[in-house]
Amino acid sequence: MEEQKMQYMFGIHPVIEAVKAGKKFEKVLLKQSLDSPVFRDLMDLLRKNGIPFQFVPVERLNRIVKGAHQGVVACISNIDYVPYETLIDTALASRPDPFIVILDGVSDVRNLGAIARTLECAGGSGIIIPAKGGAAINADAIKASAGALMRISVAKVPNLRLAAYYLKQSGFRIISVTEKAPGLIYGTDMKGPCAFVMGSEGKGISQSMLDLSDDKAAIPMAGEISSLNVSVATSVVLYEAVRQRME
């Protein structure tokens, strides 16, 4: 489960005070059918601060926390996220041809960590992930990244399209890496500011992100297995971008 090796805070009032104090959370798990004035205050705070929340059976909360959780368990962030605008603006200020990765539906924490490690080694500027439906940045993800997740910028957004629109307005080309693309990565121009969209192995890239893409590119496959692990595929793409920048 993605909650493995997470740190937690629990109880309605402690979580409310932590949110007010600016504490960062991966997400907040809430007991199904929970309702009270103070609970509604908590919900308002979570929405206002853009903190993801999920209603779950009480048995799940009981497995995580041994104690009086009051139906509220918050998963504490292991890193400090940055606003996507800050990530993009900083990337452009740091070099004329930055590249970043957008993860659309990648839910395995080890894949996330491996992608972050490759991105840091390749000189990339950061990763953008969805607030819901993506891998949690827990201890396993940080370990798989060899610490890269502590060194690169990571933005978590409620909707990936928000970041995609800002990227396009800022001069980035959005390139979706998909086996359904008509052309290969080797014939795709990656020399300017680029954002590479990588999808999950199961569902691939969402149609909404494909529609926003400026280009689509495929990795050539010669074997009987139809796709690479997403972290391996990301490595292939990023180092093609590095190669083009060295020409």
Sketch out the chain's domains with CATH numbers: 7-76 (3.30.1330.30), 84-245 (3.40.1280.10)
Query: Given this model, what pLDDT does residue 76 score?
Result: 85
Query: Given this model, what pLDDT does residue 244 score?
Result: 96
Tokens 């995580």 sit on residue: 64
Query: Given this model, what pLDDT does residue 77 score?
Result: 81
Amino acid (1-letter code) at residue 167: L
| Residues in the chain where the model's pLDDT stays below 50 | 1
Q: What is the pTM of this model?
A: 0.84
Amino acid (1-letter code) at residue 166: Y
Query: Given this model, what pLDDT does residue 5 score?
Result: 59
Express each pLDDT in 179-189 by its tens digit. Answer: 889 999 999 99
E-only strand ranges, 98-220 = 99-104, 126-130, 153-157, 173-177, 194-199, 215-217
First to last CA, the chain: 44
**Cα(73)–Cα(113) distance, integer angstroms:** 25
Alpha-carbon torsion (121, 122, 123, 129), positive or negative = negative
**Cα(128)–Cα(104) distance, integer angstroms:** 9
**Cα(161)–Cα(208) distance, integer angstroms:** 8
